[in-house]
Amino acid sequence: MFDLSNRVAVVTGGGTGIGKQFATALASQGAKVAILSRRQEVLDEAAKEIEKKTGAEIFPISTDVTDPESIKESHQAILDKFGKVDILVNNAGGGNNAPLTEITDEAWHKTFNLDVDGMMYMTREFGAKMVDNGYGRIINVASILGFGGLPELPIIDYAAAKGAVVNFTRAAATEWATTGVTVNAIAPGFFASEANDAEAMEAMSDFIEVRTPMKRPGKPGELASAVVFLAADESTYVTGQIVGVDGGWTAI
């Protein structure tokens, strides 16, 4: 089950954090994986680590997902390397820890350029080829904040951008529903990551316990497993879905 041995995957933001976890999980199921981010040296280190752990072939390629020309060049390089792309994980993203009255125009546009424009550019470039091929799995990374804000976390740009990811996913899924290409998203709750380090998670532990029905943050592997399912043939009839991986947060 969930055999990806004949598949080629692309993961943006794949050199660090949860992106590297996604790339590792896909590689562990047999996929060849291209990992993309801006810093080639970080990607090279991540590729070595993933290859050692999984034995899969990893292709690290520096890419600016906010630049359509950079994306086009990387797409061609991946096609030259692997011949096709079956799976796209739009993971690259970020935000600013600023409330509405304090966020700058520059910060707002930077977040939307990365989280929304970059996702659209990647999906447009890679998805068009998937449609031509009659097969594809596109997985976007949204957030529980894409469904609404939190007074405890006034990060307006990130919440708004992830809301856009949610509805982009649904719209793209309906547009391509008969093409063999599925488009879904995961909406993570609270997970330890490079953005939420151990100290930050400890500071939020009481808040997470009160608000999350499972009374804990997510553990390593619990997020990547959802990506593997959505990337696999077993999810053929699943499209336009926003899969909450949040310990029940969005159930209440």
Inter-CA distances, 31 with 88, 126, 156, 240, Å: 12, 17, 36, 23
User: Taking a C-beta distance cutoff of 8 angstroms, is the pair 125, 174 a contact?
Assistant: no
Active-site annotation holder among 121, 135, 158, 237: 158
237 is catalytic: no
Determine the Cα–Cα distance for residues 127 and 124; give it in Å rounded to an integer.
5
Tell me the C-alpha distance between 185 and 163, whole Å.
Answer: 11
Q: Measured between alpha carbons, how far is 233 from 105 in angstroms, rounded to an integer?
A: 42
Identify the sign of the CA torsion 153, 21, 43, 79: negative
Q: What are phi and psi of 56, to 5 degrees?
A: -85, 165
**For 155-186, b where at least 16 C-beta lie within 10 A, e where not — what string?**
bbbbbbbbbbbbebbbebbeebeeeebbbbbb
How far is 145 from 122, CA to CA, in rounded Å? 22
Active site residues: 158
